[in-house]
Amino acid sequence: MPPEGLDWVPRDELLTFEEIERVSRLLVEQFGIESIRITGGEPTVRAHLPVLIEKLSQLPVDLSMTTNGATLRTLSNDLVQAGLKRINISLDSLRPDRFTELTLRDNLPQVLDGIQAAVDSGLNPVKVNMVVMAGVNDDEIIDFARFGREYGVIVRFIEFMPLDASEGWTTGQVVKQEQIIDQINSEFPLTPVQRTSAPATRFTYEDGQGEIGVVASVTEKFCDTCDRIRLTADGQFRNCLFAVDEFDIKNLLRSGSTDGEISEEIKKAVAAKWAGHGIGTVDFIRPARSMSQIGG
């Protein structure tokens, strides 16, 4: 998030829980969606979040959430009781001064406590997402690997993507998957796991003490196997994280459209998906929204 912050979206521009539930049910019943992840911005700032979790937990899906973790000590038990199964927690530094510099918040202790609260509440797996940036936090790769082993959580190392709010991304800031793996393997030997359609390439520790994942969207593109779609908090359908076009589902929901009409718009959106995001090519177009506006 930039130092000046971001503008809050008026409540009436956000999808209601009922609208989110309707689209989710349609996607499950009409298109066979098997997994739903609640992201953001930051989902825990939404009032009565467990109510939404409970609604979505009634669907036959793998239900998870991504959060900054700062309030999980007070929320995790309620989320589990509502039906949440697993969680991802974003954390880019274990060093208090660096954490404050990156997040503009001095609450690393609360985030670490939130991670422990997530483990204690029975969420499984608990994953910690670290965006690795050259010259910023790449000296903490081994620290994060050790942290994951000690806390019993899965650390996912994510290549820095051109979705930063400050729009300062350059290829020189990307720490490649092979560099990340080489560092960790030198300290804690790894064994690769056969890749699936999930974004992360997984590796297990040879001593059996857990695993890690690497999301290499920049250097090891997996667009040909990607099966993810996104619905933003304000009701825009995106067929790719890096899409430059959005499809207005909220307008359909609020103008009396039938499920069939909404389904047709979703088909149209998915059919328009590009073969690849094009990061690193001369014709790459950066999305107008940052990650904090799209949802991870």
- 238 has which bridge partners? 230
Give residue 133's pLDDT. Answer: 94
Neighbours of 240 (CB within 10 A): 20
If you average pLDDT over residues 203-225, what whole number do you get? 88
Read off the pLDDT of residues 76-85 as tens digits, 9 standing for 90 and up: 999 999 999 9
Quick check: 289 pLDDT over 70? no
What is the 8-class DSSP label of residue 175?
P
Read off the pLDDT of residues 87-117 as tens digits, 9 standing for 90 and up: 999 999 999 999 999 999 999 999 999 999 9
- Residue for token pair 């969420």: 123
Report percent pLDDT > 70 for the chain.
Answer: 87
Confidence at 162, pLDDT banded by 50, 70, 90: low
If you average pLDDT over residues 14-36, what whole number do you get? 97
The pTM of the full predicted model, rounded to 2 decimals, is 0.89
Give residue 273's pLDDT. Answer: 86
Give residue 281's pLDDT. Answer: 55
What is the 8-class DSSP label of residue 18?
H
Quick check: 179 pLDDT over 80? yes
